[in-house]
Amino acid sequence: MTFELSAEHEDFRRSIRDFAEKEVAPHVAGWDRAHHFPVDLVAKMGDLGLFGLTAPEEYGGAGDDGDFTSLCVAIEELGRVDQSVGITLEAAVGLGINPIQTFGTKEQQDRWLPDLVAGKAIAGFGLTEPGAGSDAGATATKAELVDDEWVVNGAKQFITNSGSEITSCVTVTARTGTRDNGSPEISAIILPAGTPGFVAEKAYDKLGWHLSDTHPLTFTDARVPADHLLGERGRGFAQFLATLDDGRVAIAALAVGCIQACLDMSVEYAGERQTFGGPIGRKQGVAFQIADLEVMLQASRALTYKAAAMKDAGRHTGSSMKEFKRAAAVAKLYATESAVTATRIATQVFGGYGFMEEYPVARFYRDAKILEIGEGTSEVQRMLIARGLGLPVE
């Protein structure tokens, strides 16, 4: 198996880079200041086919012409210009489309996927709660089956793509009973936007990702038909874990885009900024830090696309899920922690200017930290890697 991108993937990369530089770069600073979710841009991304890169042709997707690696390339290139735009695509596909595509009934897929794949709508996945983050088994939201309807009560937090004007639905995990051993039975249920009792509260005022649509959600006797159960009853937690494996690789791709941006900005600035009669790039103290960025970039990209290649190979050959899980955790851990370091280095290279919002490096600095937290913290990734090595870590 090779982890080098094909000529087709590199051609695709150039097309997405061109799109990002023309459609995102000129506007992103203003959108960031205004905390504006760019619906028009989402529509353009849909026209480009970005939301359908892993979806079947019958729903408007790329079918056999697309793959998970292509999605990672798109996320990386969008993330190279702005991390918020990259996470919008990542969450829309990985957390919105993927669960319905993988676990949904034909009727559910027919209802939701066409608009999601076209970029006419987006969807979220509600897992995290005030008391249940990494410990997702502590889910407190409940769903009771009453007269052939699920009645949902509870709350979720930090849910991406959950309250925009084009959000069509959110899949939520909820306790639907208790198992024989006393553990909670957790299922996944699709809640359409506009369902009475389902409220997307005021958007968060976040440190970064200002373009990304993120809300807390509340459910007060929110009722949906019984057929809105996603997948098998009691398998919601397992479905979520499978969804996260893909998401970790995609977040690693977003981190690669961040590192690439830091490297590009640092090289350009170090060649232009003059001190003591010459460019700062000739000073070892600066040059060596930028060299470290190149090392982090190459290592992060290799780990990310190795995991993406394993995912794509598994679609056709049934490769080891255990190996993929570990590769996803390794890529996510290394790439995201490297991205945080890369933004610190780039900001230092820029000096005082790096602290000014007029320079993109400041936005990347703000945006990077969440990469180590979302879709599994660094601590969770280390736990998964250790378990994969056979260690009895709790």
What are the CA-CA distances from residue 325 to residues 3, 86, 249, 308, 368 (Å)? 17, 22, 10, 11, 23
Q: Report whether 264 contacts 79 (CB < 8 A).
A: no
Reported in sequence order, the residue ranges of 229-385 that DSSP labels E, i.e. its strands, are 229-230, 274-275, 278-279
Count the Cβ atoms, other than its own, within 10 Å of residue 210: 22
Q: Note if 375 is an active site residue.
A: yes
d(CA 300, CA 28): 25
* The pair of three-digit structure tokens given for residue 28, joined into one six-digit string: 């992103």
- For CA atoms 94, 97, 99, 103, the dihedral sign is negative
| DSSP H or E stretch at residue 75 | helix 68-81
Q: Rounded distance, CA 230 to CA 177, Å?
A: 16
The position carrying tokens 């000129």 is: 26
CA torsion sign for 354, 355, 358, 364 is positive
> Distance between the two ends of the chain, CA-based, in angstroms?
33
Distance between CA atoms of residues 317 and 216, nearest Å:
40
- Which residues are 219's β-sheet partners? 154, 198
* Catalytic residue (one of 77, 129, 372, 375): 375
Short-list 324, 262, 269, CA closest to 293:
262
The residue among 230, 279, 271, 191 whose CA lies nearest residue 99 is 230
Instruction: Give the number of C-alpha atoms closer than 13 A to the C-alpha of residue 72, restricted to the C-beta side.
Output: 33
Closest by CA to 84, choosing from 147, 30, 152, is 30
Catalytic residues: 375
